[in-house]
Amino acid sequence: MSRQRTLLLCFLAPFTCAFTQALFLASEYSALNSSVGGRLFRGTPLVLPCVPSNVTHAGNCSQVQTEYLDEGFRTNTPGAYVVPQWETCQATGAQCLLDYTNTLDLTPVTPPRECLLGSIPPYFIDVQSEDDVRAAFYFSKRLQVPLVIKNTGHDYKGRSSAPHSLALWTHNLKNISYEPDFVPEGCSTPSAGVTLGAGVQWQDAYDFAESQNITLVGGSDKTVGAAGGWLQGGGHGMLSNTMGLGVDRALQFKVVTPDGQYRVANACQNQDLFFALRGGGGGTFGVVLESTVLASPRVTLQVVVVTFDSTTDTTITRELWNTMTANALQWAEDGWGGIATTNVAIYINPILGPAEAAKSMNPLIEFGQKLQSDQVEGAQLISTSFESWGTFFNWFAAENVAITGVSLALVSRLIPKANFATAESQTELVEGLLNTTVITPRIIILVTAPSSYPGDNTTSVTEAWRSSLYHVTAVSSWNWNATKEDKKTAYTQASASIDNLRRITPDAAYQNEADVYEPNHEISFWGSNYQQLLEIKNKYDPYHLLDCWNCVGWKPSAPQFSCYL
């Protein structure tokens, strides 16, 4: 039965409409399954095996409980997300979660509580080829079923889940290869390039780079996808100061656009699409199946670390941040990138030798020595070298992972060089950072802006990245039993905390790690590039088959956003 006849029947016989529609959709999904080689499967909550009344879904509840907070387990599970509020319908309370403080407790899923899909897509396609994506686009356009694209579920804004949607699961596209003389199709100039399937994660990519004696610039978490939303949204890391953002290093994309065309986008063909994919945001302009990025020679890293035990007394934190802000401009010029919190500072440098690094970083080294001489609890100072990015990353990632299995309201701000120009502006910045911690104590200062890498003006991220030194994030959290008002309060508190930095900076934030309700988000994420991106969006996706929260050309009233608060 055609969709038109089904709608007519619903009008003439509404009491039989629901049953008729169910039969119609079952038939359509059966046909879709056949067209994708039997790789259509139902989405289910991660916690379903732990529901006492569950008799239809096999699974290991003890594994779910044990690994509920493990990012590797979650990123390998289609219906799981690193930040689990995107498994739920926040607006209605429909969910299937555990208590992250005690995952052995099954109270959250014991009747009368229900285990519901929330915003988990009810169907997924295990994508293996461009034909699978074509089939999904055809299905979506014909039946008005929303599409989402999911790889790992490292998503702080809910763009890879939506109620009543069809998900394209790209997680199993794990191909990876290295060409020392890669030439983008249609071009003539070779570059060393690594081609990454959409499902490759950074730990895999870094291990591969080590085996090839090369360096890839990537993220600071091992399970983040290397070729999807991280890259298409900009992509920052601790090497970005001197080696650029992810989008600066993109050489080519292979992408299926919503018209069903499998396109190659690079500097020599489909240049407008290449521009859009280099910063316009993932899940917006097409489904990227493969990305090729620049590979650099192996680098030796000089590393300086200062850490002390966390304390409620902000005196030492103020001293640390005063030291950082007073030297930030010089350190950026010298090639340092890194990460810091209230009680940790980790700086790395790929261009200086040991003696030069020690001289450049002397203010931080002296600060660390002072902490030790003052016998500050837990004070440590490390000044060392790592033979490669990969060896440093494995050391860093062993102790530093993304918060997983906890619902979070995350906010961020880019901090421009102007905020470090004078003693007065430095003091103002440190006070803004400290005031942020009053509301949201978990604050991260990422020294990951490409401040020493000017770029070529062909990417679509906000220009503010080039004039910034820091990318600062903060979070507010809640547990499974939070009310709708509790969740609203968490988002409001997080936004209020970053207001301490918004007041002293221009509108600029990193789209992948930004306030879900970011004010003036078009300018904050894309600056002067937004209008051009909107034109490209309308060219390649005139029917808006790809629509995601705060994405270019999004339609806030679309039904797939009904679970947002």
pLDDT in tens, 417-438: 999 999 999 999 999 999 999 9
Q: What's the rounded Cα separation, in Å, for the pair 442 and 344?
A: 12
**HEC states along 460-476?**
CCCHHHCCEEEEEEEEE
Phi, psi of 60 (to 5 degrees): -105, 100
Tell me the pairing of strands 443-447 and 380-386: unpaired
Q: How far apart are the first and last CA of the chain?
A: 37
Q: Give me the mean pLDDT over the 199-214 stretch.
A: 98
- Judged against a pLDDT cut of 70, whether residue 13 lies above it is answered with no
The position carrying tokens 């209605």 is 92
pLDDT at 544: 95
pLDDT at 56: 61
pLDDT tens-digit series, residues 112-153: 999 999 999 999 999 999 999 999 999 999 999 999 999 999
Q: What's the rounded Cα separation, in Å, for the pair 263 and 228?
A: 16
Q: Give me the mean pLDDT over the 282-298 stretch.
A: 97
pLDDT at 50: 95
pLDDT at 12: 57
Q: Give me the mean pLDDT over the 378-394 stretch.
A: 98
As given in the structure block, the two tokens for residue 162 are 């939506």
Please name the fold of domain 176-298+528-561: 3.30.465
- Judged against a pLDDT cut of 70, whether residue 86 lies above it is answered with yes
Q: Give me the mean pLDDT over the 179-203 stretch.
A: 98
Q: What's the rounded Cα separation, in Å, for the pair 209 and 217?
A: 10
Q: What's the rounded Cα separation, in Å, for the pair 171 and 126?
A: 8
Phi, psi of 559 (to 5 degrees): -60, -25
Percent of the chain with pLDDT over 70: 96
**HEC states along 470-509?**
EEEEEEEEECCCCCHHHHHHHHHHHHHHHHHHHCCCCCCC
pLDDT at 52: 86
pLDDT tens-digit series, residues 221-236: 999 999 999 999 999 9
pLDDT at 16: 63
Q: What's the rounded Cα separation, in Å, for the pair 436 and 428?
A: 12
- Give 303's DSSP letter: E
- Give 352's DSSP letter: -
Residue limits of CATH 3.30.465.10 in the chain: 176-298+528-561
- Judged against a pLDDT cut of 60, whether residue 7 lies above it is answered with no
Residues paired with 193 in a beta bridge: 179, 294
Question: Which residues lie closer than 8 Å to 283 by C-beta, 6 or more apart?
Answer: 148, 149, 159, 160, 229, 546, 548, 551
Tell me the pairing of strands 147-150 and 166-169: parallel
In 3-state terms the chain splits into helix, strand, coil percentages (rounded to 5) of 40, 20, 45
pLDDT tens-digit series, residues 496-554: 999 999 999 999 999 999 999 999 999 999 999 999 999 999 999 999 999 999 999 99
- Judged against a pLDDT cut of 80, whether residue 290 lies above it is answered with yes
Question: Which residues lie closer than 8 Å to 504 by C-beta, 6 or more apart?
Answer: 419, 428, 429, 432
pLDDT at 14: 58
CATH class of 301-526: alpha beta
CA contacts within 13 A on the Cβ side of 141:
14
Preceding omega of 112 cis (within 30 degrees of 0):
yes
- pTM of the predicted protein model: 0.95
Q: Give me the mean pLDDT over the 42-55 stretch.
A: 90
Give, in order, the Cα–Cα distances in Å from 398 to each of 14, 244, 394.
58, 25, 6
Residue limits of CATH 3.40.462.20 in the chain: 301-526
CA contacts within 13 A on the Cβ side of 546:
30
Mean pLDDT of the chain: 95
